Amino acid sequence: MKIVAVRSYLTSMALTKPYTIAYNTFSDVSLAFFEVELENGIVGYGSGSPAKEVVGESTAQTAANLQTEFVQNLVGKDIRQFQQLIFETFKQFPHLPGTQAAIDIALHDAFCKFIGISVANFYGRKIKALPTSVTIGIKNLQETLEEAKEYQSLGFKILKVKTGIDVNEDIEKVVKLKEKFGDHFSIRVDANQGYKLDDLKKFITATKHQGLELIEQPMPVGTENELLSLSWEERKLLAADESLKNPQAALKLAANEKPFGIYNIKLMKCGGVFGALGISNIANNADIDLFWGCNDESIISITAALHVAYACPNTKYIDLDGSLDLAEDLVKGGFDIEDGFMKINDAPGFGFTLL
């Protein structure tokens, strides 16, 4: 079955509400979309929304790359060779994971629609459903508690709280959240590289009785060896995010003493489904848990992340709320959320439908 057309476009989409992390504030997001059409009329959809400050690629660069001759030359190729086409994409666009992901996701969607199976079932689904965390950006204490109450009313059970500017305020937020909501919420924190080692030690000590699930990327990239001064019990709570961009980084972090006990996989860091599976296999052999995250993304790539996450036996956590922040999107469906649990369907491909 031949590819007869490819299309791409860049769209700016408003967020439902601005949010702040340790190094930026966001009020809208640009998304690059990619379509692969087959001769029988099937269309596979992909999207790219890399974080330039993390991977060095902007969404505008992704959109430009999707217009290149290499991508146009996918026309005429056989979708049954989609894995080879993804391999060639990685060779053509090294270190450009947003471009890789957009193409990878669209080809997976088109191929699995062609053979009539969901992507999760194609790779072998291991997990039925998991609860996602919802994210509270950096806000003052009162605003944090108010947003948590809103999420409680919506049925969510896991909060991910952005931290990393003032460790004392971060400690207070965690303590007050537990005081106000008790065991209703499990709490994760994401310092976005904002701590020094002493800050991290202080935070761990002060919150050790609060039952935190994990602490995501507490210190800057390049300081991983400093984490080895912590005990393994402490490091098991640490999730590599910005330090983990691809399978090569996963392999390095899994060697000898491990600074992180958890790997955060984002399709926009590792280049899509193939890159994610590469990291997963390394983590599985190193007894490292998987935590699936996202940027502000379309339902397209969020659903893609869910499918591959549920095909990996070592998936333990998901933080795939990125499409919930969008005021608009290209597609609908893909997943349902029931009491905070994200459930995918068995429709061919990724199971979303065009609006």
* Two structure tokens written together for 44: 């596979």
Along the 355 residues of the chain, how does pLDDT read in single tens digits?
999 999 999 999 888 877 666 656 677 889 999 999 999 999 999 999 999 999 999 999 999 999 999 999 999 999 999 999 999 999 999 999 999 999 999 999 999 999 999 999 999 999 999 999 999 999 999 999 999 999 999 999 999 999 999 999 999 999 999 999 999 999 999 999 999 999 999 999 999 999 999 999 999 999 999 999 999 999 999 999 999 999 999 999 999 899 999 999 999 999 999 999 999 999 999 999 999 999 999 999 999 999 999 999 999 999 999 999 899 999 999 999 999 999 999 999 999 999 9
> So where are the chain's domains?
3-116, 121-354
Q: Are strands 130-131 and 186-190 parallel, antiparallel or unpaired?
A: unpaired
- Please list, in sequence order, all residues whose beta carbon lies within 8 angstroms of the beta carbon of residue 64, skipping any fewer than 6 positions away: none
Architecture of the structural domain at 3-116: 2-Layer Sandwich (3.30)
Burial class (CB in 10 A: 0-12, 13-18, 19+), 207: buried
CA distances to 45, 66, 229 from 89, rounded to whole Å, are 16, 11, 40
pTM as predicted: 0.95
Fold for the domain defined by 121-354? TIM Barrel (3.20.20)
* 82-92 helix and 273-285 helix, angle to the nearest 10 degrees: 90
CA distances from 56 to 59, 97, 199 (A): 10, 9, 27
Cα distances from 130 to residues 140, 264, 272, 294, 303, in angstroms, run: 29, 15, 20, 15, 13
pLDDT value at residue 19? 63
pLDDT value at residue 104: 98
Give residue 85's identity as a one-letter amino acid code.
L
Q: How far apart are CA 316 and CA 287, in angstroms?
A: 12
**pLDDT for 29:** 87
Eight-class DSSP state of 67: T
Contact 300, 327 (CB under 8 A): no
Q: What distance in Å separates the CA atoms of residue 264 and residue 215, rounded to the nearest whole number?
A: 11
pLDDT of residue 319: 96
Q: Could you check whether 3-116 and 121-354 share the same CATH topology?
A: no
* Tokens 């469906």 belong to residue: 333
Token pair, residue 58, equals: 């902007």
Q: What is the pLDDT of residue 225?
A: 97
